[in-house]
Amino acid sequence: MEVIDQIQSVPDLESALCSVLAVDLPEPKKGVLLELYVQTVLFCRQQGFSKEQTSALVSIIKSIHEANIETPLNNSEHCYKYCNDLLLCHSVRRPPFSVKLFSLEEANCVLNYIQDHYLQHNKLYKYIFTPQVKLDLFLTYSGKGGEGLAADESAAQADDSSEAQKTSAMEEETAEGKMTFTVYYKLMKICETKSYQVFLVSSANILVHSE
């Protein structure tokens, strides 16, 4: 980090961080990750942090990012707790478990920065860096379950066929009724013009007598 502290231009800083942190990712992942590291270094410069503090904060950001993208599921609470643990390990002098690099005020400032610049956008980073998972659900029936399903399908088809036959029979009866009425009507007209008497015995027998 001593060399990085001397770099002023952003493109050179990105190149140096890419080499130091071994960022070997395709675009746009590479650009997004380098932008995160560059903004962290610029924040450290604004706060006047030492190179040890800068190195520790970049490492903390890197660790939180890796914890966030290790799963496509929501783990924001875990990342937040992990961030607090890492800051605590760098804010309390307790060798060999922790070292005091940040004061209480600096630790709160760093926590606010991480919340505003990473944890608040953790779902966006997760979407970019984690593979998309697609679920294809197939149902296979076997044994009695499959036989029961086949029987239900056969019964449904039989019901449909029976309904179709009933509908066809009703249509035929309706057509026959219309035809019979038409025959009766025409005979009545003939009888009116030629003085016939018509006796309708049934729908199948028609008797016509002359006066």
Burial class (CB in 10 A: 0-12, 13-18, 19+), 4: buried
> What is the secondary structure of 93-158 as a DSSP string?
-BTTTB---S-HHHHHHHHHHHHHHTGGGHHHHHHHHSPP----------THHHHHHHHHHHHHHH
Contact 62, 55 (CB under 8 A): no
75-134 pLDDT, tens digit each: 999 999 999 999 999 999 888 888 999 999 999 999 999 999 999 998 899 989 887 777
pTM of the model: 0.60
Q: Is residue 172 part of a domain?
A: no
Rg (CA), the chain: 43
Contact 87, 102 (CB under 8 A): yes
Q: Is residue 146 part of a domain?
A: no
Q: Is residue 27 part of a domain?
A: yes
Domain boundaries, position 201: 1-133+186-208
Q: What is the mean pLDDT of each run of 10 residues along the chain (211 residues)?
A: 65 81 85 92 92 92 93 89 93 88 93 93 90 74 55 60 65 54 54 48 44 43
Longest dimension (CA), the chain: 133
Q: Is residue 161 part of a domain?
A: no
Domain count, the chain: 1
User: Rounded distance, CA 40 to CA 208, Å?
Assistant: 111
Q: Is residue 81 part of a domain?
A: yes
Q: Is residue 149 part of a domain?
A: no
Is 51 strand, coil or helix?
Answer: helix
